[in-house]
Amino acid sequence: TVCPNPAAGAVAVAKRIASLIKSKQANGEKAVLGLATGVTPIAVYTELIRLHKDEGLSFKNVITFNLDEYYPMRPDAPQSYVRFMNENLFDHIDIDRANIHIPDGTLPEDKIAGFCINYEKQIEDLGGLDLQILGIGRTGHIGFNEPGSAPNSGTRLVTLDDLTRTDAARDFGGKGAVPTKAITMGVGTIFKAREIILMAWSKKKATIIKKAVEGELSGEVPATYLQLSDNVEFILDEPAASEL
Ligand code: GLP
């Protein structure tokens, strides 16, 4: 779907999330959402906050799992995805804190594997993700599944690509301060979601969007794996779609 501008795309995605939450509410069920960080989804979160404040959308039945977190990362650090999610969404809605899950950047290294297995199990025990939203990095990563990620990969500790660290340098005040690792849901974890929405705005994403949508299926561009799913929708603005 190509939208006239990012705001229109973000409002459309927020509406889809709201209607999922409401239909689950009507049946007395939980909505299990996979959430993303980065600049791309911010307007979606802003619209969800507006729907909460102005239209009474409740998040009491919502359970969230975030895609990823830098490793190591303290939750109160300016670049932490915990902080990002609190500031951009969770602090402004009525979600139960116990229902929020974000990979833990403070774990000692020998506890990470167990944490990741448990992250997968928690999602599975809830019946899987109803909806996963995604941005895309210039390496073609989804979450932090960098080139070389396997299609059936699960939640795990990964090494960040050099280009990803270059792109993150601004947030960290220089590339040297960007962590070399992250904990991310796997491609396989994302794939199990019943619905996947990948958003991309701006010309900066046009080349990687072309590769992801029209390029040869390849582990070198993990987002190409999405071509294998029937449950994926790309929501783009015109500049991001301009090379398709
Ligand atoms: C980071 C995140 C990804 C995100 C990507 C793009 O690498 N881990 O989940 O999709 O950045 O970020 P932005 O939306 O800021 O372009």
| Domain parsing of the chain, residue ranges | 2-237
* Cβ–ligand 1 contact at 68 (below 6 Å): yes
**pLDDT, tens digit, for every residue of 169-215?**
999 999 999 999 999 999 999 999 999 999 999 999 999 999 999 99
**pTM, two decimal places:** 0.97
Strands 156-159 and 181-184: antiparallel
For residues 37-49, average pLDDT: 98
* Cβ–ligand 1 contact at 135 (below 6 Å): yes
Beta strands in 94-150 (DSSP E): 100-101, 131-134
| Plot region of 18 (φ>0 → left; ψ -120 to 50 → alpha; else → beta) | alpha
Q: For ligand 1, atom 12, which residue shows the shortest CA distance?
A: 38
Give the catalytic positions in this structure: 146
The correct answer on CATH 1.10.10.200 for the domain covering 2-237 is no
Mean pLDDT over the full length of the chain = 97
Alpha carbon distance 16, 44 (integer Å): 10
* Cβ–ligand 1 contact at 170 (below 6 Å): no
User: How confident is the model at residue 186, as a pLDDT?
Assistant: 98
Q: What is the 8-class DSSP label of residue 234?
A: E
